[in-house]
């Protein structure tokens, strides 16, 4: 990575952040990510921000972490946008709690097809905290999160469907039916047939 190739720098940095690797060296990892971030790589900015946030390989500096998240977000790096959503939603770490701003970040990350953001934004719509959005909107984001192949989304919808209201669950059944994954009752009840359709939409064959 002597030529500063950002992909190589990131690869070497990740190896040095793996505690099971002989080459484990967080300080070197931070140095490599800094070089990649300075070269304009948004993923490196985000990962370096995580190191500053937690004080790994560098002196903890939450303000610097948030600056790096914002720089990565400006380059449409969805992980950073999603994290900024959490920081603004919860407040703390030098970020003022601002639910409206948080929702804007979550929606932006969701529209960039970040699975966790799509799921979180669907949950916020379901909770009624996103003005002008309906159960159908919530179901659409859940469907797209499921189709992204994210295992956590499949598990949550299969194991804890009642974290979403009946209207949203029914809307998701309609969405699954419209895409030929489901042909059962539209009743909001996630029984074996609905769970089977969730697995199909996720990409598992029966």
Instruction: Read off the pLDDT of residues 8-30 as tens digits, 9 standing for 90 and up.
Output: 999 999 999 999 889 999 999 99
- Cα-to-chain-centroid distance, residue 177: 26
- Its pTM stands at 0.87
- Rounded CA-CA distance 81/115 in Å is 12
pLDDT reported for residue 94: 79
What pLDDT band is residue 93 in, cutting at 50, 70 and 90? Answer: confident
Contact 110, 121 (CB under 8 A): yes
Among 68, 74, 98, 71, which residue's Cα sits nearest to residue 85? 98
- Rounded CA-CA distance 97/150 in Å is 29
pLDDT reported for residue 4: 59
For residues 21 and 182, the model is more confident at 182
The yes-or-no verdict on residue 70 having pLDDT over 70 is yes
Residue 8 CB-density burial (10 A; 0-12 exposed, 13-18 middle, 19+ buried): middle
Contact 49, 68 (CB under 8 A): yes
pLDDT reported for residue 206: 62
Among 108, 106, 88, 84, which residue's Cα sits nearest to residue 98? 88
């Amino acid at each position: 990575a002597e030529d500063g190739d950002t992909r190589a720098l990131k690869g070497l940095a990740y190896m040095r952040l793996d505690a099971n690797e002989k080459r484990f060296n967080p300080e070197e990892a931070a140095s490599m990510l800094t070089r990649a971030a300075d070269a304009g790589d948004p993923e490196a900015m985000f990962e370096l921000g995580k190191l500053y946030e937690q004080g790994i390989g560098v002196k903890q500096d939450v303000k610097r972490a948030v600056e790096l998240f914002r720089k990565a977000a400006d380059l449409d790096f969805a992980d950073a946008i999603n994290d900024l959503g959490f920081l603004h939603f919860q407040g703390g770490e030098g970020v003022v709690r601002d639910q409206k701003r948080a929702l804007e970040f979550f929606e932006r990350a969701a529209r960039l097809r970040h699975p966790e953001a799509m799921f979180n934004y669907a949950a916020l719509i379901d909770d009624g905290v996103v003005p002008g959005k309906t159960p159908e909107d919530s179901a659409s984001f859940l469907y797209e999160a499921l189709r992204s192949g994210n295992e956590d989304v499949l598990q949550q919808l299969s194991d804890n469907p009642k974290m979403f209201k009946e209207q949203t669950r029914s809307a998701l059944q309609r969405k699954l039916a419209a895409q030929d994954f489901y042909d059962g009752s539209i009743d909001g009840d996630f029984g074996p047939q609905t769970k089977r359709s969730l697995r199909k939409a996720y990409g598992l064959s029966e």
